[in-house]
Structure 1
Amino acid sequence: MKSFLSHVVHYILENNTNISNLTLVLPSKRAGVFLKHELSQQIQKTSFAPNILSIEELVEEISGYTSVSNTELLFEFYTVYKELTPKDAQEPFDSFSKWAQILLQDFNEIDRYLISHKDIFNYLSAIQRIQQWSPDKEPSDLMNNYLKFWDKLEHYYGALTNRITQKGIAYQGLVYREAVDSLEFYLQKNEDKKHYFIGFNALNTAEEKIIQEFLEVGLAEILWDTDHVFFDDPEHDASLFLRRHRYEWNYFQKHDFSWVANNFSSKKNIDIIGIPKNVTQAKYIGEILQTLQKQDETLQDVAVVLGDEQLLIPCLNSLPQEIERLNITMGFPLKDIPLATTFNNLYILQEHHRNDTFYYKNIINVLSDTNLRPLFQQEDKNLAADIIEYIQTNNIIYVSTEVIVARFPKHVQDIAEMLFTYWNDKPKLAIQNCVTLIRRLKTKLIEDREQHLLALEYLYRFNEVFNQLQHLTKQHNYITDIKSLLALYKEIISTETLDFKGEPLQGLQLMGMLETRVLDFKTVILSSVNEGILPSGKSNNSFIPFDLKKQFNLPTYKEKDAIYTYHFYRLLHRAENVYLLYNTEADGLNGGERSRFLMQLETYNMPNHTLTQNVVIPTVPKITHQMQEVQKEASMQKRMKDIANKGFSPSALTSYIRNPIDFYYQKILGINEYEAVEETVAANTLGTVVHDTLELLYKPFEGKIIATEDIKAMFKNVEPLVVENFKKTYGEGNIHRGKNLIIFNVAKRYVTNFLQQELQTLKSGKTLRILQIEQTLKAKVDIPELDFPVYIGGKVDRVDELDGVMRIIDYKTGKVSQGDVEIVDWDLLTQDYKFSKSFQVLAYAYMIYQKQAFQQETEAGIISFKNLQSGFLKFGTKDSARSRNKNQLITAETLDDFVVELKQLILEICNMEIPFTEKEV
């Protein structure tokens, strides 16, 4: 395959004896590198190279103006806007920037196509007035302000262009307009230099005028890159612009339109491959490259072209490890670099500052940021982790600067104070602090430079961003708060990139669609060939409506689609092996529908094209969830002996019944559940508060008979005790607003309703004696099969005596019904978690019995605060599920039956041959 640039160089060398006096103009800078390489390959003698420029560089040279960055232009525009807008009608910078960006794009387009700004803006203003006109009513103030905005566009344009041209800078469109005005002077100055315009397709009006002028005065040639298949087809968009140039330019009325080749119809293998999801496309690209590498280790003439440039990172992660040489022509977007999140988190922390405190989640986001770890790491100790644990343990929702800084060692307190002190909503201070942070991180990372090369590169690039922000905020005092700074920061990092550096002429080429201009490759792998991506489809990010664009010959979505069409087919001109990948799944608006380009290829059905179509389904391993099984080791035996000696708690035993693997994690390994900060009071916290409040109310009456006056006296203590227990259990969490206030009142209601029920019981003439409140119990379980003592232990909520019957009571804040504390089959007690509540109350009864045999009738059961109307829910045994005959007394026989099941359960836990096996919950 002979590339287009190879033909170009051959032609130039054949027609020019002195190439050093030539200027070669290309659509992009990148193409110039390849052109220079091709020149070095074909030149036979030592010579000075010609001047190689991109079209943008040539236009800047002609105009004498330097292009200004979008961000700087936005600030210049805001200066103009403030000068032309009354002070009471001025918008803040962050809201102004949202519509100003669109308007600047329109200014750019108008200038590139040499449209009279007065004509188009007057036309646009007139359209708005016609649309809003009504014969029935006068326009409102809002409508008048709206129409004034359209009237001002012409003034905005004029004032902005005057301001920036006086500074010797201009945006790209204005550079083009000025270049056309300065073209005659440039041609006179360079009348001895010949220019070659190479590989152009779509040209704006300014470019057309410049190139035509060069051609007319005989100082240039233009070398097209198209194919007869498309050029001769009047309906095909791949040559839409070239056909226009051919028939509309005066130059081609007298000169041939050459450089139309016959490459597309040559032999090609084209694979159209449908792949579900974007990431799967990246993975499949890796597989294709692995296959190609077996044929050519260097992948010298292979290009991976990403239709959707967001696939860059997945694609890089999917490349075969054997690839030694890779050149990437796309930049890595700064917004996708992890460090971008670090500064974003800092700004969000500041933005949500409240009364000298910060929201705990924002603090945790900063402290747990891996990019900041070098600052918080002290030998083997992670300072950030300690502070996060402190916040969670104390349930602090809004954390003060003093609390955080005090927990850092003195040598890093300055950086902690900088990060977690309120920046007073001052953007300049925020930027300075970010620059300081970058310097501190750099100092830390440079100690082990080789391990942190990429991180240091990130820091360098973000240092440039903040330097730019610093310069702009000093020069223009428009960013007045952190919110505006965050919006500008996001705007910059969304458009700026971290450029990759590599050897552009060796190895695999990874590029975007626009970078392929004038370049040819033997093998092309093109991803995301879907409607909405290739071509990009209808999008109108402009104040100028479609019909007005047509009227003034501005490009519409049709012209933009034609540009994509040209690039797509030009990429196929000289390729021999083509892999076209598309997403078969509908990912939002883009995806699911194949590109029209693929259908066109099928329709053309060229004789020399071998076209194959496949749908690739990724190999998804069948994941069968296997229940976890942990074999008991000798080291676990000591731990189980310790637990048995201390006492198996009823909750621990029911945890084993529910799922043995939970028992293993919690009791054997000692792994507790993660304790997050409770913004809203959790169910277990509510239960603890209610339990503790009842304990404080009833503890003074232990061993005494309670009278109605005693209960009445308790009512006045309910609220202060609930508040006290919330402070103890809920830490510094706020219970005076939102859901927490509701839950606080629910806790009071639970306790009050319980006391009301107690009062009714006493008023009915019954006698109530409190025997034990929150009594800690422990009892030995004789298990001869084990060679170590076994105990069970726990804390019973309440033991009382009601009319001579002893009651063993467990409080539950959740809902419990009578059926939950009744059993039919004793074997199920330790097999089905459904009977866990029965198991618990029987365990308490057994421990009390072991201490002292029952001297009176005894019952055990639950008081459910969500089912308080059902009263005391007594444990009972039944002959069958439907039987109404219940035995609700706890007798020695009842406890004997329980002990049989208890021993069997403990033997299973302690049996080294029986593994901890996960259950389906």
Structure 2
Amino acid sequence: MRTFIFDVLTDLKEKQTNLTETTFILPSKRAGLFLKHQLHKFINRPIFSPIILSIEEFVEDLSALKKIPNTELLFLFYNSYKQLTPKEDLESFESFTKWGQLLLQDFNEIDRYLIPQEKIFNYLSAIKEVEHQHWSLETPQTDFIKKYLSFWNKLNSYYNDFTQSMLDENSGYQGLMYRKAVENLNAYIQNNGNKSHVFLGFNALNTAEKKIIEELLEHNLAQIYWDIDATFIENRIHDAGFFTRQHKTKWNYFSHQPFNWITSHYSKPKNISIYGIPKQVGQAKYIGNILKDLQEENPSFQNTAIVLGDENLLIPVLNSLPKNIGALNITMGLPLKSVPLASLFQTLLEIHKKDSKTFYFKDLIKILSHQFIRPLFIVEGVDHALSIINTINNTNLVYVTLTKLKEMVTECHELLDILFLDWDTSIEQVIENCTALILLLKTHLDKNKSSNLLALEYLFRFNTLFNELSRLNTTYHHIKDVSALYGVYKEILASETLDFQGEPLQGLQIMGMLESRVLDFETVIISSVNEGLLPAGKSNNSFIPFDVKLENNLPTFKEKDAVYTYHFYRLLQRAKNVYILYNTEADVLVGGEKSRFITQLEIENIHNINHNIIAPEVPIIKSLPNSIQKTSDVITTLKSIAEKGFSPSSLTNYIRNPIDFYYEKVLGIKELEDVEETVAANTLGTVVHNTLEAFYKPLEGQFLTPEIIKAHKSNISKTVTLHFKKEYKAGDITKGKNLIIFEIAKRYVANFLDLELKQLEAGNTIKILAIEVNNVVPINIPELGFPINLTGKVDRVDEYNGMVRLIDYKTGNVQQNQVEIVDWEDLTTDYTKYSKSFQVLTYSYMMSQSNHIKLPIEAGIISFKNLNSGFIKFTKKDKAGYGARKEALITQETLSHFETELKKLIVEICNPTIDFVEKEV
């Protein structure tokens, strides 16, 4: 295909231009590489290569200033800020970085557009003064208002001191170099009267660029080639030609010289396919599908480009490429913040920013589990990181000190020191710790270098980053604490990339929108063509208000939209096959509805457009319940469980969901032990149970008296605290939710003792027969042919006014209808309604079989959240609804009916022909 660069070189050859003596100036370095690649087609003898520069390189040469990195600019600017701001008004460097970067962008813009800085800063100050008069009528002005207005009054002083400090060192930022380049332009023209310049591929130009190019054109030292289509020039409202129309009509040079060039490529036939695809990642996956189809016709993907409207799609796109892709070039770098190592140092700085002595357990586990850190803790096959994590979980440590960490393991103390020691000593020590960690990681990765090349590249870049931080702080001394270091670290991380190595002139090209300048491709795939991404929309990261920008001819969102409109349509000009992808799922964070560019393409009606909405192929999968067959091994395990004893809770677990019973009892899978940051409900229940056991166990065989209960009431706090320490281990119950739960536990016990006292004072007699009775009772089921036991612990058995009661404590809320049944068959079918009744009857059956009690008895629940109901008795009803006859006494007949259902349940559990089938819960 004939590219724009090829056409420019063809024209220069026809004009017999001496390429050796020509300086080519393009919008980007990448465009210069493609230009150099095309040169050999236009020369038939050895020549010295022409000078090929990006516009920024040309301006830097013209200004004679050395460019300073953006991060260092912040440090330099803070010098000026400190010098000109009274000590009492001075903000910390950390606070300054949050607005300093924004002000630097405004300085840059003002300089690039050659705005008289004093004029615009005085204008801004006057505006703020007027605004203040509208929104604050206080007189005299408050200190806050005075400081606010003083800031705006000082902007010109900040600018002058800041720029002068750089000029004194012959250095500057981009905008300052542009301003200085214009000042040096006349001298450059006088000293280079025979030099030829060729500008090509430009569109939006700032005032300094316009001035430089116009002056060189007027002095016949330059030629300029525009890449614009007649469609955009002739249509006076088309944003793709917004800037070029201005240049054509407003530059004096074009009043007497031809305008090169206006082409007609855009109107030529093109295959344009537009795809609406759900979500950003969906687009990445569909790009992979497009490439597979293209690969059949163009295996090398020559003259094919993927242009990412959202550069965050880079990794998903790379993961979606066909496996046999061949040559590949990625113009954009991988953002350093996306590298796994970035999260490690971010977490380290975050936790030390909070506290360098005591560490929150989740932060610790996050660091110890990190993919780069975990291998360092493995010594001779022993995972010491896992040991620390298990100890934290088992001892319920929410906050951990370094001393405590070292007590948990006998190895890796040096590594623990690097990660957690002396981070509050000095910033130099913090950076030294980070560097030491990098060297430790490098030593580990060098052991298997061939498989860790990418990880070693990560380490190299982060070593460079921390060396730069060390240099900046040594030079300027602005970083005083870890919090400020963290802010600067994030600032550097946001702008740094990990560059890819590829074939810049061959195969598939992956790039961002700005990297596509001047380049042409036959096949173009453009992703994320959504409002808010292409174009970016009405974002205004600036201290300069919209109306002030208009007044001073500074670019607004309107001009920025026009820039992206040009780039978008320029990609389409010479392309033959265009694939445009957009996200159909509106997301205010990463782009809303489809871009106006798509609508505009459709309204123009110049090309045949195939517009499709792509829905992901979602297979219809019938949701079948999980089913586990009872193999011989499972039956063997069930026999072992049966011999040890089925507990009431395990049986109700089976009733609730057989699969849960299988996982817990057969496979032995337990819930993950984790730190209880807040006291869990089961821990609260255990503490209350154990406290009551401590009070009542010594009273077995005795009648309760008011004096005994009153004596126990005075020991509630001490006993509850003791059992909390046993169950909650090192967990803190002195503050927050845990303190509330601790008080609730004391209240539960106190309320229960008050209930007992009230009953005793009312003349009732209560005799404690047994507390926390352990039972192991055999049950004879001949059809199974192997021994089966029931096991369980009964909370309390007492004698109330001569009637034996079996009591189960519940810290939850239990109502009377939860311990009532009508049909015996319901006991083993409905967990939600009858699990409490099943448990109470199981305890009664075991106590009866073991001869601990004689029938009839009463059995039921005392609910600590429903103490007003007192002892909630199990009840058998003869029918449902009102008017039913209720029987609360548990007799031999009652237990016989229950035994029938119990045996049926156990037979079902142990029956090899009945699978464990999941229930919908």
Task: Give, in whole Å, the separation in 1 of the partners of 2:731 and 2:658.
Answer: 34
- Contact kept in structure 1, 2:798 and 2:805, CA below 8 Å: yes
Task: Give, in whole Å, the separation in 1 of the partners of 2:116 and 2:335.
Answer: 36
The worse-fitting range, judged by mean Cα deviation, of 790-799 and 739-748 is 739-748
Structure 1, residues 115-174: CA drift from partner, whole Å, max 9, x if none? 111111112212222222368844333222222111111111110011111122100000
**TM-score normalised according to structure 2 size:** 0.97
Name the SS for the 1:866 alignment partner: coil
C-alpha change, 1:482 and 1:822, in structure 2 (3 Å) is: same
Name the SS for the 2:774 alignment partner: strand
Matched letter for residue 570 of structure 1: R
The worse-fitting range, judged by mean Cα deviation, of 375-384 and 504-513 is 375-384
Task: Give, in whole Å, the separation in 2 of the partners of 1:150 and 1:380.
Answer: 63
Structure 1, residues 884-919: CA drift from partner, whole Å, max 9, x if none? 322222222222222211111111111122111111
Name the SS for the 1:197 alignment partner: strand
2:585: which partner in 1? 585
Q: State the 1:232 CA deviation.
A: 2.2
- Contact kept in structure 2, 1:302 and 1:522, CA below 8 Å: yes
2:806: which partner in 1? 808
Q: State the 1:269 CA deviation.
A: 1.2
Q: State the 1:283 CA deviation.
A: 1.5
1:734: which partner in 2? 732
Structure 1, residues 674-701: CA drift from partner, whole Å, max 9, x if none? 2321222111111000000000001111
Equivalence map 1:182-201=2 (5 Å): 182-201=184-203
Matched letter for residue 7 of structure 1: D
- Contact kept in structure 1, 2:716 and 2:746, CA below 8 Å: yes
The worse-fitting range, judged by mean Cα deviation, of 907-916 and 882-891 is 882-891
Structure 1, residues 389-444: CA drift from partner, whole Å, max 9, x if none? 2111111111111111222343x211112212352263322221111111111111
Structure 1, residues 29-69: CA drift from partner, whole Å, max 9, x if none? 00111111111344333322211110111111111111111
1:517: which partner in 2? 517
**TM-score normalised according to structure 1 size:** 0.97
Equivalence map 1:546-561=2 (5 Å): 546-561=546-561
2:635: which partner in 1? 637
1:130: which partner in 2? 130
Task: Give, in whole Å, the separation in 2 of the partners of 1:66 and 1:619.
Answer: 55
Name the SS for the 1:370 alignment partner: coil
Name the SS for the 2:246 alignment partner: helix
Equivalence map 1:874-893=2 (5 Å): 874-882=873-881, 883-893=883-893
Equivalence map 1:430-579=2 (5 Å): 430-579=430-579
Equivalence map 1:601-680=2 (5 Å): 601-606=601-606, 609-680=607-678
Task: Give, in whole Å, the separation in 2 of the partners of 1:646 and 1:213.
Answer: 97
The worse-fitting range, judged by mean Cα deviation, of 392-401 and 621-630 is 621-630
Q: State the 1:507 CA deviation.
A: 1.1
- Contact kept in structure 1, 2:654 and 2:660, CA below 8 Å: yes
1:313: which partner in 2? 315
C-alpha change, 1:430 and 1:808, in structure 2 (3 Å) is: same
Matched letter for residue 539 of structure 1: S
Structure 1, residues 750-791: CA drift from partner, whole Å, max 9, x if none? 111111111222223232221111111110011112232111
Q: State the 1:593 CA deviation.
A: 2.5
Structure 1, residues 217-274: CA drift from partner, whole Å, max 9, x if none? 2221111111111122222221222222222222222211122111111111111222
Matched letter for residue 403 of structure 2: E
1:866: which partner in 2? 865
The worse-fitting range, judged by mean Cα deviation, of 340-349 and 718-727 is 340-349
Name the SS for the 1:272 alignment partner: strand
The count of aligned residue pairs is 917
1:835: which partner in 2? 834
Task: Give, in whole Å, the separation in 1 of the partners of 2:894 and 2:236.
Answer: 97
2:166: which partner in 1? 164
Task: Give, in whole Å, the separation in 2 of the partners of 1:403 and 1:590.
Answer: 44
- Contact kept in structure 1, 2:530 and 2:592, CA below 8 Å: yes
Task: Give, in whole Å, the separation in 2 of the partners of 1:741 and 1:292.
Answer: 65
Equivalent pairs: percent with the same residue?
Answer: 55
Q: State the 1:204 CA deviation.
A: 1.0
C-alpha change, 1:109 and 1:853, in structure 2 (3 Å) is: closer
> Which of 320, 332, 351 is the matching residue for 2:353?
351
Q: State the 1:716 CA deviation.
A: 1.2
Task: Give, in whole Å, the separation in 1 of the partners of 2:726 and 2:140.
Answer: 66
Matched letter for residue 460 of structure 2: Y
2:788: which partner in 1? 790
> Which of 135, 139, 142 is the matching residue for 1:140?
142
Task: Give, in whole Å, the separation in 2 of the partners of 1:885 and 1:856.
Answer: 21
C-alpha change, 1:373 and 1:12, in structure 2 (3 Å) is: farther
Name the SS for the 1:706 alignment partner: coil
Task: Give, in whole Å, the separation in 1 of the partners of 2:127 and 2:489.
Answer: 36
2:344: which partner in 1? 342
Q: State the 1:304 CA deviation.
A: 0.8
> Which of 285, 288, 311 is the matching residue for 2:287?
285
Structure 1, residues 585-635: CA drift from partner, whole Å, max 9, x if none? 2101654422222222223222xx222222222222334432111112222
1:297: which partner in 2? 299
C-alpha change, 1:776 and 1:311, in structure 2 (3 Å) is: same
Ranges in structure 1 where 5+ consecutive residues have no aligned partner = none
- Contact kept in structure 2, 1:585 and 1:591, CA below 8 Å: no
1:222: which partner in 2? 224
Pairwise CA RMSD:
1.7
Task: Give, in whole Å, the separation in 2 of the partners of 1:858 and 1:137.
Answer: 84
2:818: which partner in 1? 820
- Contact kept in structure 2, 1:376 and 1:383, CA below 8 Å: yes
Ranges in structure 2 where 5+ consecutive residues have no aligned partner = none
Task: Give, in whole Å, the separation in 2 of the partners of 1:181 and 1:592.
Answer: 44
> Which of 219, 234, 242 is the matching residue for 2:244?
242
- Contact kept in structure 2, 1:348 and 1:362, CA below 8 Å: no
Asked if residue 104 in structure 1 is aligned to residue 104 in structure 2, the reply is yes
Task: Give, in whole Å, the separation in 1 of the partners of 2:559 and 2:880.
Answer: 78
Name the SS for the 2:791 alignment partner: strand
2:80: which partner in 1? 80
- Contact kept in structure 1, 2:336 and 2:342, CA below 8 Å: yes
Matched letter for residue 450 of structure 1: S
- Contact kept in structure 1, 2:203 and 2:226, CA below 8 Å: yes
2:234: which partner in 1? 232
Name the SS for the 2:193 alignment partner: coil
Matched letter for residue 206 of structure 1: A
Matched letter for residue 699 of structure 1: K
Name the SS for the 2:777 alignment partner: strand
Task: Give, in whole Å, the separation in 1 of the partners of 2:122 and 2:623.
Answer: 69
The worse-fitting range, judged by mean Cα deviation, of 567-576 and 240-249 is 240-249
- Contact kept in structure 1, 2:630 and 2:916, CA below 8 Å: yes
Matched letter for residue 864 of structure 1: S
Q: State the 1:854 CA deviation.
A: 4.4
Task: Give, in whole Å, the separation in 1 of the partners of 2:825 and 2:42.
Answer: 92
> Which of 749, 752, 765 is the matching residue for 2:750?
752
Structure 1, residues 170-190: CA drift from partner, whole Å, max 9, x if none? 000001111112223333443
Name the SS for the 1:199 alignment partner: strand
Name the SS for the 2:329 alignment partner: strand
C-alpha change, 1:88 and 1:425, in structure 2 (3 Å) is: farther
Structure 1, residues 281-301: CA drift from partner, whole Å, max 9, x if none? 111111111111121111111
